[in-house]
Chains A and B, each alone.
Chain A
Amino acid sequence: MHLRPSIRPSLLRVAARPTLTASHPALTRPATHKASRPANKAKDGPGKRLGAKKTAGTFVRPGQIIYRQRGTLWFPGENCDMGRDHTIHAAQPGYVRYYKDPDYPTRKYIGVSLKKEWNLPTPPGAVRRRRLGMELVDYYETQRSKFEEANWSKELEMVKTGGGIGVGVKVKGEDGQVEDKGRWRSPNWLIGRVGTKEVVKAYDPTNPWLRWQRRVKAKKYAVRMRGSKSKIAGAKAKAAKKAKKAAK
């Protein structure tokens, strides 16, 4: 039901009587359908296909996903790694084990045992059984990027001499970027200067205030260099007196 205010505007002007406006609770209509914001959210979205991808005892190769999860429902145990989204994947080839560690009774672990007959967890205090998974090849330098290649000799030279900063500090570029924990940053002596550099505004001849300032400054300068009019006059008078005395 909607009530319409039946008061004439002339009457309103005469006496400010309390009126019923649309904001009054008695006049608002309860919303039956929300119009703004995500009104009717999706209640059940598509499934994220979480859960175990490999069951216990399955043979896995390094990198194979064993478990997808939100948060750490399972923790990575022996020979397993955890990804950015908490996905557990194998780090070594072996057989999947789901187990609990007595050292952390609240945690569940997923591990990979290197042999089929080995079990997890290992008894407390026992040495971990680790796999090398590597071969010995001839030594070679790793490929450097084009940028590194271009600056390599220069860098080496700077490392040897210390670049004026300290022996063993890596320095590169014209502004002497310094290597700090694997990143390049401005050298310390430059950091201190960044904030103190003076900013000089260019002279704007169309600005009357600036022109006046300049004029006053020029006058003051001139006075300082050759003295004020009164001073000059005083000096002249003194000189004249001296001359008179000398003449007498």
Chain B
Amino acid sequence: MAAAGRTALSACLRQISSRPQSAALRAAGAVRFNSTSAAPSADAASTPPPPPSDVTTSAAPKDLPPPPPLVDELASQHMEYEDLKFKVQTGRRRRTLENMPFETYQMALQVLKKDREEKIKKIQLEQARIERVRETMEEGPEKDTVLRSMTRKLDELKVFADINNPRVKFNFDTGNYTLDKPIYRYLADRKWRALKRPTLMQRLEQMNVVPDIVPSINPVADVELRFSGAVIQPGRILSSGLTEKRPTIKVIPFTPGEKLVTIAVVNPDVPDLENDSFTYQLHWLVSNVPISHLHHQAIGTGAQKSDTIMEYLVPTVQKGIKYARFAVLVMEQEGGKLDAEMLKSKVVRERFNTRSFMAKNKCEIIGAHMWRNSWDEQMKDVMIRNNIPGWDKMFKRVRD
């Protein structure tokens, strides 16, 4: 068995060395996966670094073929080259996903490689079609719909080309990826939709954030909330000491492109004694926050410049109130950049109406999070420390 495996491996290596740059490789090189991506530099950063130049000039032995072109291609192709280089330079071989000495496995890899080449041909065909439509078809809404559906198909093909690659799965499982490639965006989205999104939706619906603050929510981006570095699960009751300092927020969109978002923290559980009911209060409002599929940090270390419309107000709950909900809403600014000075002069904390704010400023919710606060041992001190009135009063049920 071992002998058979060894022969298979040596055959594989021979195959690689005898074929400096096959037609398939050249074809792969011709396809730019992220031709639509706005960040070519980030693209280059995520692909494996090119082999050092001295390999090809002086130090490399003569039988080492030139490295394959590193244009958005399979990680495995690069790994094959690295293995070859390692073998030529040291005379030893090393175990990787690509050269595991199992005959059936190697045969399966060949099947996957063939399938990928087919997919690449389809991608090229689709790209040519899109180009043709772009040039020949008349401008209008019909062209837009056709182009949109064709681009969707192209994205799908790009995912299909990579989804069976064991190296891609390994990279994703070990967290060694960025969202610049369609396959990793697809995998990350699928993972998020498997558990995190359902959990979030359950919390938002069961705690009635959905009808109380906004009529409906359809999150498409993952929102990560951290207080003092601790990741918060949606809906947790947090201690008042923890929420005294503002949280940091990450927004992870699974679609490419830059976005401007507004982040609001709203409390719908402010007691309203006049009307014997509850009202809203705006705790935090930050606008024009730039995020993208490659830049997730919205607020916190590493975040880009944004406009704080309302400073963070420490969340407090008076004694007697069961708890207060604090909803974090991440809204995409569909009308582009908002006028921060205008907002600063107009937005009021008390009785903040999220629905009308969204309608006026053309904002659409793309992500959400929530936490809760209740009266606890530290709350009195927190209120005194932050000059928030009301610690000397408490609520008591009226006998009906």
Cβ–Cβ < 8 Å partners of B393 in chain A = 136-139
B61 contacts chain A at the CB level, 8 A cutoff: no
**How far is it, in angstroms, between the C-alpha of A61 and the C-alpha of B320 when the chains are bound?**
21
Contact B400 A61 (CB under 8 A): yes
Q: Min CB distance, A166 to chain B, in Å?
A: 15
Report yes or no: A128 in contact with B216, Cβ–Cβ below 8 A.
no
Work out how many contacts link A and B, with CB atoms closer than 8 A.
Answer: 60
Query: Residues 82-96 of chain A: 1 if any B CB is under 8 Å from the residue's CB, otherwise 0?
Result: 000000000011000
Please state if B400 and A138 are interface contacts (CB–CB under 8 Å).
no
Chain A contacts with B in 107-130, Cβ cutoff 8 A: 122, 124-130
For the complex, is B273 an interface residue (Cβ under 8 Å from A)? yes
A172: shortest Cβ distance to chain B, in Å? 15
Determine the distance from Cα of A135 to Cα of B277 in the docked complex, in whole angstroms.
Answer: 11
Contacts of A14 in B (CB 8 A): none
Chain B residues whose C-beta falls within 8 Å of the C-beta of A130 in the assembled complex: 277-278
A93 in contact with B212 given A136-B273, A139-B319 (CB within 8 Å)? no
Evaluate contact between B320 and A132: CB separation under 8 angstroms: no
Interface check A133, CB cutoff 8 A? yes
Which residue of chain B is the closest to A103 with respect to CB atoms? Answer: B205
Contact partner of B392 among A125, A131, A138, CB < 8 A? A138
Closest to A133 in B: B398
Contact across chains for A129 and B394 when beta carbons are under 8 A apart: no
A132–B277 CB distance below 8 A: yes
Chain A residue with minimal CB distance to B269? A130
Interface size on B, residues (CB 8 A): 23
Determine whether the beta carbon of B271 is less than 8 Å from that of A129: no
- Is A42 in the interface zone, CB < 8 Å from B? no
- Determine the residue in chain A with the shortest Cβ distance to B216: A125
Return chain B residues, CB-CB under 8 Å to A140.
Answer: 394
Task: For chain A, give the interface size range.
Answer: 20 to 34
Residues of A193-221 whose CB lies within 8 A of B: none
Asked if B277 contacts A129 (CB within 8 A), the reply is: yes
Kindly state whether residue B391 has any CB partner on chain A within 8 Å. yes
- Residues 292-349 of B at the A interface (beta carbon under 8 Å): 319-321
State whether A132 and B400 are in contact (beta carbons under 8 Å apart), knowing that A125-B216, A138-B393 are contacts in the complex: no
Give the shortest distance, in Å, between A31 (CB) and chain B (any CB). 56
- Tell me whether B215 and A125 are in contact (CB under 8 A): yes
Taking CB atoms, residues of chain A closer than 8 Å to B320 are 134
CB <8 Å contact, A132 and B394 = no
A131 near B394 with CB under 8 A, answer no
Q: Is the CB of A127 within 8 A of B212?
A: yes
Query: How long is the Cα–Cα vector from A133 to B212 in the complex, in angstroms?
Result: 18
Whether the Cβ atoms of A126 and B211 lie closer than 8 Å is yes
With contacts A62-B400, A139-B394 known, is A132 near B215, CB below 8 A? no
A141–chain B nearest beta-carbon distance, Å: 10
Task: Give chain B's interface residues, CB within 8 Å of chain A.
Answer: 208, 211-212, 215-216, 271-273, 276-278, 319-321, 391-398, 400
Q: A128-B211, A138-B392 are in contact. List 12 more A-B contacts (CB 8 A).
A: A124-B215, A125-B211, A126-B215, A132-B272, A133-B398, A134-B271, A134-B321, A135-B398, A136-B394, A137-B395, A137-B396, A139-B393
- CB<8 Å pairs between A and B, sample of 30: A61-B400, A92-B400, A124-B215, A125-B216, A126-B211, A127-B211, A127-B212, A128-B208, A129-B277, A130-B278, A132-B276, A132-B277, A133-B276, A133-B397, A133-B398, A133-B400, A134-B320, A134-B321, A134-B395, A134-B396, A135-B273, A136-B273, A136-B395, A137-B396, A138-B392, A138-B393, A139-B319, A139-B392, A139-B393, A139-B394
6 smallest beta-carbon distances between A and B, as pairs? A125-B215, A134-B395, A93-B400, A139-B394, A137-B396, A139-B392
